[in-house]
Amino acid sequence: MNSFGGAVSAVPVILYLLVLGAAAASDVVRFRIPNVLPTALVGLFIAVGFIVPVPVDWGSHLAAVALALLLGSLLFAAGKWGGGDAKLLGAVALWSGLPNLVDLLVSIALSGGGLALVLLVSRHWARSWIAARPGAGALPRVLKAGEGVPYGLAIAVGGALVAPDLAIFAL
Q: pLDDT tens digits, residue range 82-95?
A: 999 999 999 999 99
85: in domain: yes
pLDDT tens across 77-127, in order? 999 999 999 999 999 999 999 999 999 999 999 999 999 999 999 998 988
74: in domain: yes
Which DSSP symbol is given to 48?
H
- pLDDT of residue 3 exceeding 90: no
What's the confidence (pLDDT) of residue 19? 98
For residue 97, how many C-alpha atoms fall within 13 Å in the half-sphere facing its CB? 16
- Crossing angle of helices 36-51 and 83-132, in 10° steps, is 130
For residue 139, how many C-alpha atoms fall within 13 Å in the half-sphere facing its CB? 19
1: in domain: no
Q: What are phi and psi of 125, to 5 degrees?
A: -60, -45
pLDDT average, residue stretch 56-84: 97
pLDDT average, residue stretch 57-61: 97
137: in domain: yes
Q: What are phi and psi of 133, to 5 degrees?
A: -130, 80
Domain that holds residue 11: 6-169
Residues recorded for the chain: 171
Asked if 14 and 6 count as a contact pair (C-beta separation under 8 A), the reply is no
Q: Left, alpha or beta for 79 (phi > 0: left; psi -120 to 50: alpha)? A: left
Contacts 24+ apart (CB under 8 A), 86-89: 87/33, 87/35, 87/38, 88/23, 88/33, 88/37, 88/38, 88/41, 88/152, 88/155, 88/156, 89/155
pLDDT tens across 124-138, in order? 898 887 766 776 667
Q: Mean pLDDT for the chain? A: 91
28: in domain: yes
Q: How many domains does the chain have?
A: 1
